Amino acid sequence: MVKTGPRPLVAGNWKMNGTTAMLKEPRLLAGMLRDIKLKCEVLVCPPATLIRRVKSVMKGSRIRVGGQDCHWNASGAHTGDISAEMLKDAGCTSVIVGHSERRANHAETDELVSKKAKAGHGAGLIAIICIGETLEQRKGGKTLQVVSGQLKGSLPEGATAANTIIAYEPVWAIGTGLTPTVAEVAEVHSHIRADLAKLMGDDGGGVRILYGGSVKPSNAAELMGAANVNGALVGGASLKAADFIGIIKAYM
Ligand code: 13P
């Protein structure tokens, strides 16, 4: 698929999955992609414990590595947390912030997500800011209002098309096998695009907007074909190289 607009990105979010036994998957993926001419970028976000190892098994490939979260401070007394600087130092190019699982499980607010994105920028990382409505909000006709509010609240000052990516992930589509229709995805993405233009001016047109939520090889081409969809943020189907490449193939 050839699309106009910003260069697409297919990103895999492993979430809290993976020990060293899983390193065979990124190694396989790097091998599969070696001789393929891609029309998208590829990113893998493993758990922090595996970042260096994943990077090492994919050495020589164009696949990038990212973190799944970061603290808003660069260093300090924050037991168990990881800073954007540490991710950068470990070889990451990006960091996911504001994933709905963190918003739900760790009570992360838009304000906090904005601080984390800013910390990512400060460390030289691309911040992948996640937004998306719950099923209740969709049923209540509040989807566009919710994503607008999250976007405005989570986008930090200094965000540009080069340092920021938005991931639209409807909460009800994550890990459920359910997806919005292509028309519904296009509606939300074009709404986000218009909001980005309001918030960032001309640069808003260059920001990549990923779709996430039950993307798999069988639905990737259709979802990626929707207007203003500039790639995917993939959970479950990114854990196996054979599945993940089936999604990347939407851009071959
Ligand atoms: P699934 O692809 O497993 O639905 O997860 C999507 C997601 O949350 C990616 O961040």
* pLDDT tens digits, 136-187: 999 999 999 999 999 999 999 999 999 999 999 999 999 999 999 999 999 9
78 is catalytic: no
Average pLDDT value for residue range 193-210: 97
- For residue 83, the surrounding DSSP H or E stretch is none
- Which domains are present in the chain? 9-14+41-48+84-244 (3.20.20.70)
Which residue among the candidates 101, 169, 189, 191 is catalytic per the annotation? 169
pLDDT of residue 7: 94
What is the distance between the terminal CA atoms of the chain, rounded to a whole angstrom? 6
Told to judge if 191 belongs to the known catalytic residues of this protein, a careful annotator would answer no
Residue bearing the CA closest to ligand 1, atom 1: 235
Question: At residue 216, does pLDDT exceed 90?
Answer: yes
Contact 173, 143 (CB under 8 A): no
- Whether pLDDT at 4 is above 90: no
Query: Residue 1: pLDDT band by 50, 70, 90 thresholds?
Result: low
- Distance in angstroms (rounded) separating the CA atoms of residues 103 and 71: 14
Q: Which atom, in ligand 1's list, is nearest to the CA of 236?
A: 3
Beta carbons of 46 and 24 less than 8 angstroms apart: no
pLDDT at position 252 is 85
Q: Is the pLDDT of residue 230 over 70?
A: yes
Query: Stretch 23-31: mean pLDDT, rounded?
Result: 98
Residue 2: its pLDDT value, please? 59
Q: Does the structure show a pLDDT above 80 at 26? A: yes
**Catalytic annotation, pick one of 25, 71, 85, 99:** 99
For 36-83, how does the pLDDT look when each residue is reduced to its tens digit (9 = 90+)? 888 999 999 999 999 999 999 999 999 999 999 999 999 999 999 999
Protein residue with least CA distance to atom 2, ligand 1: 235
Q: Mean pLDDT for the chain?
A: 97
Structure tokens at 32: 């599969």
Choose one of 128, 174, 244 to mutate for the ligand 1 pocket test, by most ligand atoms within 8 angstroms of C-beta: 174
Distance 95 CA to ligand 1 centre (A): 15
Q: Which residues of 42-76 are buried (b: 16+ CB within 10 A; e: fewer)?
A: bbbbbbbebbebbbebbeebebbbbbbbbbbeeee
Over residues 119-125, mean pLDDT: 98
Q: Which residues line ligand 1 (CB under 6 A)?
A: 13, 99, 169, 174-175, 212-215, 233-237
pTM of the predicted model, to two decimals?
Answer: 0.98
Q: How far is the CA of 94 from the centre of ligand 1 (A)?
A: 17
Residue 62: φ, ψ to 5°: -90, 0
* Residue 3 scores a pLDDT above 80: no
Tell which atom from ligand 1 comes closest to the C-alpha of 130. 10
Helix axes 143-154 and 110-122, enclosed angle (nearest 10): 40
Q: How far is the CA of 217 from the centre of ligand 1 (A)?
A: 13
